[in-house]
Amino acid sequence: MKYTKAIVISVKNDPTLSEKWIQQRIAEDPTILGLGDLVLKDSERVQPQGGRLDLLLQDAESNNRFEVEIQLGRTDESHIIRTIEYWDVERKRYPQYDHTAVIVAEDVTSRFLNVISLFNGAIPLVAIQMSAIRIGDVVTLTFTKVLDQTALGLVDDDEELSEVTDRAYWEKRANTATLAAVDKLIELLRAIDAELEPKYNKFYIGLAKGGNANNFVVVQPKKNHVVLAIRLPKTDEIEAKLDESGLDLMEYNTKARRYRIRLKPNETASHKPLLEELFRQAHSQWGA
């Protein structure tokens, strides 16, 4: 077996690399940060008070957003303040989401780690130390979370910013089995209201009626399951029915007022009566 020595390099001092290059690598695959199944919402996001947020990421299965600032070299006061400012702006603009500030730096020094930790709890803040490693003529990146947030759900209120996609996009992101399950869910919904049509967005598949978004039900097909979100008030009656059904019930999204269910591709048919009942309830309240 061949051995090649790995060399840790400084992105800040390397003439062939840059902060923009780091940003592009994260944008291509946000999961490399180790914060979960994240997707890119925006990059170089212009802020009302000036400046640009490096990356805005969103959890693929919840309403969690991450405001990410990248710094080459050591952490400093200006980047910490900027990270918190951008986080504060975004959470005020879009309060329906849960927001976390993230600073990514090559060297999260002990001094500033102590400073950052003072905010943690009051401000959901994550610090990630990044290392660039050269192996031969290849450069790879590693990300290590050195400070996690202290523990203290998609909605259509941000619909105007949704990036419209198509079925082909979801065929790549999910697979034919989970998309077939989505088709069956759409069939159930169209049996309730024949004017409903699927609307393919970047973060979810929603509903449209007469060309307008009508997202009382949204779905997110994954590789092995479908996340089904139904807008309904949380009640003991619905909770009891879902518990008895044996469905994989996820945490209720209080801000979006949605029940969230993790469905396997073959479960739509076996739970058809309950799903129809929930769809009718949601349609009567929000879908007309």
Q: What digits encode the pLDDT tens for the residues 32-67? A: 999 988 999 999 999 887 889 999 999 877 788 999
What average pLDDT does range 71-94 have in this prediction? 89
pLDDT in tens, 183-242: 999 999 999 999 999 999 988 999 998 888 889 999 999 989 999 999 998 888 998 999
pLDDT at 120: 58
Whether residue 95 is predicted with pLDDT greater than 80 in this model: the reply is yes
**Cβ neighbours of 30 (radius 10 Å):** 22
- Nearest residue to 133 via CA among 8, 270, 4: 8
pLDDT of res. 288: 60
252 pLDDT above the threshold of 60? yes
Higher pLDDT, 98 or 49: 98
Considering only CA atoms, which of 1, 39, 33, 17 is closest in space to residue 173? 39
114 vs 198 pLDDT, higher one: 198
Domains of the chain listed by start with CATH number: 6-147 (3.40.1350.10), 163-287 (3.90.1150.200)
Give tens-digit pLDDT for 121-175: 678 889 999 999 998 888 999 999 888 765 443 444 444 445 678 888 898 888 8
Cβ density class 117-152: b for 16+ within 10 Å, e for less: eebbeebbbbbbbbebebeeeebebeeeeebebeee
Residue with tokens 């967005």: 201
